[in-house]
Amino acid sequence: MVRCFVGFLLPEDVKRYVSEIQKDVTQLPVVCKFVEVENLHVCLSFLGEINEYKIDKISESLDGICKNYPKFEVAVGGIRTIPNENYIRVLALDILEKTGTLKKIRKEIVQKIGGDSKPPHLTLCRVKNISDKENVVKKLGEIGSEGVNFTVAVMQLIKSELKRTGPVYSVVHESELKD
């Protein structure tokens, strides 16, 4: 069995941008576990534990989906609290896309491949404790508001190995979007 999800890893310049936002969050009274810079990603569908023999079929399905969609631009925007501002378990960045392509791809991945899907976001950290929630929420609105854009050119089937030090991600298969 292999633990997998469908999504995409981030370009290096976006990882640097997100890393700076994570540094800003360290200045707040938040106790959290940050996502390691090398693991920053956008998950479109979490597949969970799958049999290794299904990887080829999933890869073929992903290729079939991606050949129908062009590369597209996304913007990494402001910080979002998940599930909400009153009960913060995760701090994430919004993933915004104007053409609707990301939403269509996500929907088709869930229909044809399956898995658990949430609205696209980029997890910064998992929150353990916040001592001054009202002030933190106010300050979060000021962090990362300038955003950064990048082009999504591939969808990836990513393996997630859970280790004592945290998850280790590796790309199992990559499906290119059309030019």
Instruction: Choose, from 43, 93, 109, 121, the residue flagged as catalytic.
Output: 121
Instruction: Choose, from 41, 80, 159, 173, the residue flagged as catalytic.
Output: 41
Terminus-to-terminus CA distance in the chain, angstroms? 34
Q: Are 147 and 17 in contact (CB under 8 A)?
A: no
Ramachandran angles phi, psi of 7, nearest 5°: 180, -145
Q: What is the rounded distance in angstroms from the CA atom of residue 103 to the CA atom of residue 117?
A: 11
Is 41 noted as a catalytic residue in this protein?
Answer: yes
Is 121 noted as a catalytic residue in this protein?
Answer: yes
Q: What is the rounded distance in angstroms from the CA atom of residue 134 to the CA atom of residue 34?
A: 21
Residues marked as catalytic:
41, 121
